Amino acid sequence: MPKSPLPPYVSPYTGTLLAGVDEVGRGPLAGDVVAAAVILDPQNPIEGLADSKKLSEKKREGLFEEIQRKAMSFAIARATVEEIDQLNILHASLLAMKRAVEKLSVQPEFVLVDGNRKPQWHYQCDTVVKGDDRVAAIAAASILAKVTRDREMVELDRVYPGYGLAGHKGYPTKAHMEALARLGATPVHRKSFAPVRRQLELI
């Protein structure tokens, strides 16, 4: 991985069945929260892994394909808008990460979770703050999750034109807020999020 300003994370697990898991989409007003889990293959290294937010779209797209070719195992999962509204975004994010790890075709012996909260599960695991900058497997997971979600938002932009979803990916930009006020909420907007809830109250 490229050098990080943070100290490298040293895992207590020294085997090869180590999964990294990360989620994308906690902050947007619309769309699912998407998570990915990756077990990298030490015999098939991938250059250039980093926090997906710090990579160009072109670089992310290239790594997205390479990770799927070279990883020992990977899986992508989600929690829906309905689950976000029901559970809250934190618990929906943890659920998406749990689903991603459980979907792995090769089950890990140890899991590293980005952030400081871990799902309720039976896996041995550790949390790593800013793990997508410090752990290659988490960085790979962040790339899979972000590219998947970004592509979905481009598709949703075609279904719900006028909101600019392809550009801001559902985040509360000025343009998105103005479109929300002008057009109202769609079925893919998170009703439990304050800007959307306020708009619905005006109807």
Q: How confident is the model at residue 6 (pLDDT cuts 50, 70, 90)?
A: low
φ/ψ region of 54 (left if φ > 0, alpha if ψ in -120 to 50, else beta) reads: alpha
Quote the pLDDT of residue 3: 61
Average pLDDT over residues 103-117: 97
Quote the pLDDT of residue 15: 82
Residue 65 annotated as binding site: no
Which pair of structure tokens corresponds to residue 130?
């800013």
- The CA distance from 83 to 89, in Å, is 8
CA torsion sign for 154, 156, 160, 164 is negative
Query: Is the pLDDT reported for residue 26 higher than 80?
Result: yes
Query: Is the pLDDT reported for residue 2 higher than 80?
Result: no
Instruction: Report all structural domains of the chain as residue ranges with CATH numbers, in order of start.
Output: 18-161 (3.30.420.10)
Tokens 């991938």: give the residue: 46
Q: How confident is the model at residue 4 (pLDDT cuts 50, 70, 90)?
A: low
Residue 114 annotated as binding site: yes
- pTM of model > 0.85: yes
Residue 102 annotated as binding site: no
Q: Smallest Cα–Cα separation from 189: which of 162, 164, 168, 170? A: 170
Q: Check: CB of residue 38 under 8 Å from CB of residue 147.
A: no
State the average pLDDT for the chain.
94
Percent of the chain beyond pLDDT 70?
97
Which pair of structure tokens corresponds to residue 151?
């592509």
